[in-house]
Amino acid sequence: MRAPKPLAAGNWKMNGLKASSSEIADLAARLKAAPAGCDVLICPPFTLVASLADAAAGTSVAIGAQDCHAKASGAHTGDVSAPMLADSGASFVIVGHSERRADHGETDADVAAKAAAVQAAGLPVIICVGETEAERVAGREVEIVSGQLAGSIPADIDTDRLVIAYEPVWAIGTGRTPSAADVEAIHGAIREKLVARFGAAAGSMIRILYGGSVKPDNAKELMSVANVNGALVGGASLKAADFDAIIGAWR
């Protein structure tokens, strides 16, 4: 059975000044010398997308964005659209991160509209899902994530350009992670949903990333779990050495 090529994605969140772009040059230089057995993506804040896309040109590192507006253009002060991101050199866009859902009240319908906008701009989309700690304690994680998947993936999605990121909210930035068995259970449930909706051929090739306190010392174990096809890394993606060590899980 074919398996999706892993994707190691770094989400810099609201971190990174122009000066820190030396980190990407450092990482890009390492990867050029020793290509990893995975695709590599870094999603800096909007302000660095264009400059990092330039810095990463000709290397194996792709540059993406962390969010976009659902419309292509118009009177939306302070927002950035998917075509603008593509124009800046972004080759992926993350939507529906739990921090956007919490900080900006984004609903599944909002996330689906953004995901459709990303694909309409010709880019692949990473749709994030994940339960809160209270939902996990109540044993509702599969129900919550299934609902998010159903509502956040638009009807006309191109599955070749779809990546799902499972990020339990309680594991983000906390240093806590689910056990390998728990990761296997929820990723297996996500795979079942994708196969049920898109069929075995397409559903089995959609990458499902794990995110939440992925670090150099736990990456190998987490990335070897069934149906984990890569990582969405926050804090540890800010340092080239740490992110490179995580990518080492596939070397």
Ligand X SMILES: O=C[C@H](O)COP(=O)(O)O
Segment interacting with ligand X (CB under 6 A) among 53-61, 107-115, 137-145, 229-237: 229-237
Q: How far apart are the first and last CA of the chain?
A: 21
Footprint (CB under 6 A) of ligand X, residues 162-181: 167, 172-173
Binding track over 207-226 against ligand X, x by CB under 6 A: ----xxxx------------
Q: What is the DSSP string of 126-164?
A: EEEE---HHHHHTT-HHHHHHHHHHHHS-TT--GGGEEE
User: Can residue 7 be called a binding residue for ligand X (CB under 6 A)?
Assistant: no
State the DSSP code for 20: G
User: Can residue 183 be called a binding residue for ligand X (CB under 6 A)?
Assistant: no
User: Which residue from 234, 244, 246, 247 is in contact with ligand X, where contact means CB under 6 A?
Assistant: 234
Active-site hit among 23, 106, 141, 167:
167
Length of the chain: 251
In degrees, to the nearest 5, what angle opens at C-alpha 90 toward C-alphas 235 and 163? 65
Closest distance to ligand X from the beta carbon of 38 (Å):
16
Helix (H, G, I), strand (E, B) or coil at 81: strand
The residue whose Cβ lies closest to ligand X is 234
Closest distance to ligand X from the beta carbon of 61 (Å):
17
Pairwise CA distance, residues 143 & 149, whole Å: 10
User: Which residue from 31, 48, 208, 233 is in contact with ligand X, where contact means CB under 6 A?
Assistant: 233
Q: What is the DSSP string of 231-245?
A: EEESGGGSSHHHHHH
Closest CA to 95 of 77, 78, 107: 107
Closest distance to ligand X from the beta carbon of 33 (Å):
26
Q: Which residue, 83 or 98, is less far from ligand X as judged by CB?
A: 98
167 is a catalytic site residue: yes
Question: Phi and psi (nearest 5°) for 38?
Answer: -155, 165
Segment interacting with ligand X (CB under 6 A) among 31-39, 50-58, 153-161, 205-213: 205-213
- Binding footprint of ligand X on the chain (CB under 6 A): 11, 97, 167, 172-173, 211-214, 232-236
Residue positions annotated with a catalytic role: 97, 167
